[in-house]
Amino acid sequence: MESMSFHKFSGNYLVLRPTEVSVFDLFRILWSHDLEEKAIVQCPPERLQENIRRKWLIFMSLSSQKLLLLAAEPMRWIGEKLEMWVNLVSLNRNVFVLFLNLLRGKVKMPDRRSEVFMSFIGGLDTRVELDKDIKPGDCRYFGAMAAKLSYENEAFVRRIIRDYWKMDLIGYYNFWNGKKKKSNIYVLSIVFKLRSTVPLNEDYQKKNNTQAFMVYDKTTDMIIVAFRGTEPFNADDWSTDLDVSWFELDEMGKIHGGFVKALGLVMEKGWPPYVDNDNRHGHLLAYYTLREKLKEKLNPANKTRFKVTGHSLGGALSILFPAVLALHKERLLLERLEGVYTFGQPRVGDKKFKEFMEIQLRNYGFRYLRYVYCNDMIPRTPTDDLAFLYKHFGNCIYFNSFYKGKILEEEPHKNYISLFAWIPRHLNAACELVRGRILLPLIKGAEYKETWLLMMLRLWGLAFPGLSAHNTQDYVNATRLISRRIYHQLQHHRHPWKIINGKQE
């Protein structure tokens, strides 16, 4: 019989398997006091009863992931068609010219791999130039724009970095989500009340689903690593965000299972110092590839530093990256880390992980700025409650819908679900429609005028304000419109890992 431990590197874990659960099985979770009768949940048998109090969150997570599995192909199809339409209109200048070109038989057709093809995220906010008022060396420089650019294809990224940002692209990567290794694990199959073994690699997405790029800025002698975030029509990305699975590591505490696998966790080994990162079949692992590339570029002969940035899921990977560097005692790299800048980042780990990272922030003195815009629901997940106790840490740079900022320890309504916030959220969503199309362009200039695609998303936000508030445009605006006083604190505070004042500016 196989070991009762799910992984040799973790004796405590919770892994949900939505692919193994029927819709009927999901609802059985709610009316039984015995978790064993309801769903397939992988955890140490001695901790099974402990997870009963989490059944509501387990039900919600499994349900949402099951819906995403069913909706994956329709989501992908809608996303592709919408992106093609946006680029078709853009390539032909506007709808009127497109109609004329159609009549003349001269329609310009978009190519997904071309250097001008925009993603859905790019269509929401077409700005590609860096803000001229934000100078090199500024803590706001490059972060939000790099996080936004990470959603684009390689040719597009290369063109923007070369022609607009005047920097050098070191690499554009599509990383493997899961080490391709087959072995068996012990599974408690709760629905059918039997014990069996299943292939280990079933728990991975087995796709090149983690993307990042690395760029060098000669002006500041800085390398920037940008992780791609949650793509709007990618069901796998959303499933990763909504999965409440976790692994507990002795030194680091409990960490979100989907995020660590996306970064390159090796099944049965966890985070070994080195792996055979073979690229013969395109199976590069994110953490190990980026770490070795940084070691190649950062050496005792130079003073080059680096920063890490990302939006949404990319933000989670951004803060996990230095966490694993610390686990491996990569002192040279951590001493060269200038900062981690995340935008709409979900929670990553528990209280022990928070304490582990606070020690690293103090020891190495790098900035960690976590930007949260207004009603964005993603930074408020997974929940920080008695069941799961996921924790944020570091500085929360919180902005309301008018981009007035505060430096806080935690964003308001930290778990999103709040009866008191329901009405203000919907009022904010209505105000955003007027603000983005009329008020902000009049006050701040034409570059702040929102696209018709973003206005459609704002309309969707009238019903679901937490999702529409997650777009990258608001985070780019927030970094550009931040007050001088808050900027000065972020830029010049002698302890950049911890700056909390609670004052709105």
334 phi/psi in degrees, rounded to 5: -65, -35
**Amino acid 206: pLDDT:** 64
Contact criterion met (CB below 8 Å) for 207 and 177: yes
Q: Indicate if the pLDDT at residue 196 is higher than 50.
A: no
**Amino acid 27: pLDDT:** 76
pTM attached to this predicted model: 0.91
Q: Indicate if the pLDDT at residue 79 is higher than 70.
A: yes
Orientation of helix 55-91 relative to helix 95-104, angle to 10°:
60
In this structure, what token pair is assigned to residue 352?
Answer: 């022990």
**Amino acid 492: pLDDT:** 81
**Amino acid 382: pLDDT:** 87
Task: Decide which of 214 and 423 is more confident.
Answer: 214
∠ at Cα 502 (497, 505), nearest 5°? 100
Lowest mean pLDDT among 273-277, 440-444, 467-471: 273-277
Lowest mean pLDDT among 119-123, 276-280, 458-462: 276-280
**Amino acid 60: pLDDT:** 85
Q: To the nearest whole number, what is the mean pLDDT of the chain? A: 86
Task: Decide which of 381 and 118 is more confident.
Answer: 118
Task: Decide which of 285 and 196 is more confident.
Answer: 285
pLDDT average, residue stretch 437-457: 94
Q: Indicate if the pLDDT at residue 42 is higher than 80.
A: no
Active site residues: 312, 376, 470
Lowest mean pLDDT among 61-70, 300-309, 351-360, 488-497: 488-497
Task: Decide which of 279 and 107 is more confident.
Answer: 107
**Amino acid 185: pLDDT:** 34
Q: Indicate if the pLDDT at residue 188 is higher than 60.
A: no
Residue whose C-alpha is closest to residue 365's, from 322, 311, 318, 410: 322
Q: Indicate if the pLDDT at residue 187 is higher than 70.
A: no
CA 436 – CA 420 distance, rounded (Å): 25
CA 203 – CA 19 distance, rounded (Å): 10
What's the Cα-to-Cα distance from 487 to each of 26, 141, 342, 440, 494, rounded to whole Å?
48, 12, 16, 20, 14
pLDDT confidence band for 194 (50 / 70 / 90): very low
**Amino acid 381: pLDDT:** 87
224 phi/psi in degrees, rounded to 5: -115, 130
CA 4 – CA 11 distance, rounded (Å): 9
Q: What is the pLDDT of residues 231-269, one digit of tens each?
A: 999 998 988 888 888 899 889 999 999 999 999 998 778
Q: What is the pLDDT of residues 129-155, one digit of tens each?
A: 999 999 998 999 899 999 999 999 999
pLDDT average, residue stretch 116-120: 98
What's the Cα-to-Cα distance from 16 to each of 13, 19, 391, rounded to whole Å?
10, 9, 20
**Amino acid 282: pLDDT:** 63
